[in-house]
Amino acid sequence: MRRVAMIGAITIPAVAVLGPAIAQVNQEMIDRVAAGEVTEAKASWWGFDEQDSTEALQAAIDSGAEKLIVEDMGSPWIVTPISLASNQEIVFEEGCEVLAKRGEFKGRNDSLFAAHNRDNITLRGYGATFRMWQEDYDNPDLYQRAEWRHCISIKSSSNINVYGLTLRDSGGDGIYLGTATQWVTNLNIHIKDVICDNNYRQGISVITAENLLIEDTIMRNTSGTPPQAGIDFEPNNPEERLVNVVMRNCLTENNNSYGYVLAISPLNAASEPISMRFENCRSVGDAGPGFAYNAGATIEGAVGGLAELVNCSFEASGGAGISITKPAEQGVVRFENCRVINCAIKMPAISPIMFNSRRGADAAVGGVEFHDLVLTDAVDRDPMGYNDQGGGMALKDITGTLIIDRDEEPRTIELTEELLAEWMPVVALKDIPRLSLEGLTLRPLVLDSPAAATDVRWPVIRKRGEYLLYADEGDEVSFTVRHIQVGRYAGNDMPVPIVGPSGETVYEGSAPFQEETVVSFAAPETGVYRIALDAGANRFQLLDPSHPLCVNGESGPISLIQSAGDFIFYVPAGTTEFGVRVSGEGAGESVRAALLDPAGEVFEEVDNQFQTHQFEVELDAPSEGEVWTLQLRRPTDMTWEDHYVDLRGVPPLLAPAGTALLVPVEE
C-alpha cells in the first residue's frame, strides 16, 4: 500500500509536468463553486493555456467565487481584455504574471482588466505583475493610436481595492479612474503598495473619485503621450469630483512630465469643492514640475476647495518644483513643512516655485500658503517667479515663510507684498481691444492679386484655428491641408468645412491624420470664405492656396507651434494706436519676436519671452493704411514649441510676408 501511495503521489504532479502549457479543466471543483459549497477557488480549475487563457480566467472570475486564487503557472496568463465581477477578491500569487495577448487589444479602449459599474472588488498581487505591449501600441503600422489601453480601468465603481501589484508597459495608464455612467463617481477606492512602471500616458489618472486613498505607491518612467505624469487628477466635466482624496508615502520618479498634477480646469465655481491631501509624498527627477495645480482662468471658471501638502518634497524636477495656476479667490493650496530641492536647474530663467496666469484670466493669481517650506537651489535666482499669460494679472494672498537653504546658514523669509513685488513684478498691459470683423467687408489689399506665393513659410497652427480666403464667383479654389502629429498624441480625420460669404456651407471634407490633402471647390459667390479647423491636441498647416488667405485671430490669440517666419498684418487708415501680444506656453516654452514698421525698421524686439508681452504702438500721426511685419524666431535659450500672437486694435488677420493680405474696404 505504501508503494501504491507513493506512485500515486508521483503520478499526480506528473500531469502538471506535462504543462504548464495546458491545465485540464477540473469540472468537479467548478460544480462545487457553482453550488456554493466552495467559496475560495483556483483559476486553474477552469483551465490554463499558455497561448491564450482568456476563456479560463474570465470564466473563473464570472463563477461567483468570493475569493479567487490566480496561481503562478510558470508562464504568464496570456489574455485579451478581462472584465471584473462585483463582490470578489482575486489574489494573484507571488511570481504570477498576467500578460496582454500580443496582436490583440485593437480597440482604443481595450484594457487588461476593467471594473465598470462594479462594487466590492479586491485585487491583491504582492509580487505579481500585469504587463502589456506599449511598444506595439505606439506603432501606427500595428495599431490605431490611442491613450486608453490601461492595465486597470475602474469606472463608476465603489469599494475597490488594488494591493501590491506591479502594472507596467500599458498603452495608457497603470490605473484609470473614470466614468462608465454619466456623473457616477468612483467611491471608496484604496490603492496600496502598487508600482506603476513605464506606462504610456500616466502612472495613475483620476477623473473622478470620492474617498480615494493611495498609499505607498510608486509611479515611475511614464513616457509616450502627454501628459506623461506620475499621477494626473483631471476631471473632464464640472459635474465630476475630487473629494476626500488622500495620497500618503507615495513616490513619482523619472516621469517624462509632471510628478503630481491637478489639471482641474474643467471644474468650475459650481462644482463640488475639491478636498485633497498629500502626506510624505516625493517627486524625484520628473521632467516637468514636481507638483502642479492648474485651475480655470476665471473666478467663475475655477473650483474652490483645499489642497494640502504636508511633509512632501520635490527634488531635481526638470521644471519648477511647484507650479500654481489659479485665481486667488478660488480655493486654497497649503504647503506645510515641504521641500523644493534643486529644481529647474537647466532652466535658470524660471524659478523653483512658479505662479502662472492663463490667457483669458480675469482675476489675481494666488491663494497659496507656505508654512516653513525649505528651498534648496544651486542657481542664484529669485525663489519665486511669475508667468503672466493673462497680461497684467495681479498676485494676491501668497503668504507664509520660506527657509532658504543655500551655502550659508539657512535663513527664514517672511513673504510680504513688497518682497513678492520684487521677485514677481506684474507688468500691466494697456487694454487695447481686439477688433471684431463683424460688419466689415474684406478684400485683398492689392486688387486682382495673383495667387498666393508658394515659396513662403505658412504658419503651423496648434489645436484649432480659422482661415479667411477671398475668391470671386466661379473661381476654382484649391489649397493643401497638412494634418500633423504633435508628440505621440492620437489623432483622427480632421473635418474641413468651408462656409461661404452668405453663411452657407459650400464644402465638407476631411483631412486624414498625418497626411497631406488637397482641397478644391468652385466658389459660388464673390467674397470671403471661412475655413475652421480643429486638430485636437495636434496641429495643421495650409499650403499652396490658389487665392489670398489669412489666419483669423478674431476669437482669441492665434495658437502657433514652432512657426518661425515673417508675418504681415494691416493697420487701417485712421489708426492711432495698436498692440501686438506675443507669448510662449507656460514657464519654459518661449518665443523670440520683433515688430517691424512699414519701412522695415525694428520697433521693438524680445527674446526668451514666455509670459505675455505687448508691443504697444502709438503712431505720431493717424495711419494712412500700412503694413507692419512681425518676425517670429526660435528663442535663444529656452524651449521652442507652443507660442501665441494676439493682434489688438487692428484687424486680427495674419499672413506670411509675400502673400496677399486681406484688409477692410475703407471709405
Neighbours of 576 (CB within 10 A): 13
Dump pLDDT digits (tens) for 238-264. 999 999 999 999 999 999 999 999 999
Distance CA 608, CA 404 (A): 27
516-522 long-range contacts (CB < 8 A, ≥24 apart) are 516/480, 516/481, 516/482, 516/483, 516/543, 517/480, 517/481, 517/483, 518/478, 518/479, 518/480, 519/478, 519/479, 519/480, 519/481, 520/476, 520/477, 520/478, 521/476, 521/477, 522/474, 522/475, 522/476, 522/477
Neighbours of 1 (CB within 10 A): 5
CA–CA distance from 355 to each of 260, 311, 325, 666 (Å)?
Answer: 16, 21, 6, 44
Residue with cell 477578491: 89
Q: How many residues does the chain have?
A: 667
Q: What domains are there in the chain, each with its CATH number?
A: 1-79 (no CATH), 111-423 (2.160.20), 442-664 (2.60.120.380)
**Per-residue three-class SS string for 486-503:** CCCCCCCCEEEEEECCCC
Distance CA 299, CA 2 (A): 83
| Amino acid occupying residue 83 | S
DSSP-derived secondary structure letter, 171:
B
Q: What is the pLDDT, as a whole number, of residue 391? A: 84
Cα 269–chain centre separation: 22
Q: What is the pLDDT, as a whole number, of residue 3? A: 35
Distance CA 251, CA 320 (A): 17
Residues of the chain whose pLDDT is less than 50? 1-20, 448-454
Q: Which helix (H) or strand (E) holds 396?
A: strand 395-404
Task: Look at residue 261 and give its three-state secondary structure.
Answer: strand
Dump pLDDT digits (tens) for 545-567. 999 999 999 998 999 999 999 99
Task: Look at residue 59 and give its three-state secondary structure.
Answer: helix
Task: Look at residue 602 and give its three-state secondary structure.
Answer: strand
Q: What is the pLDDT, as a whole number, of residue 656? A: 93
Cα 536–chain centre separation: 11
Q: What is the pLDDT, as a whole number, of residue 21? A: 62
**Span between the terminal Cα atoms of the chain, in Å:** 116
Q: Which sign does the torsion angle of CA 120, 126, 130, 135 carry? A: positive
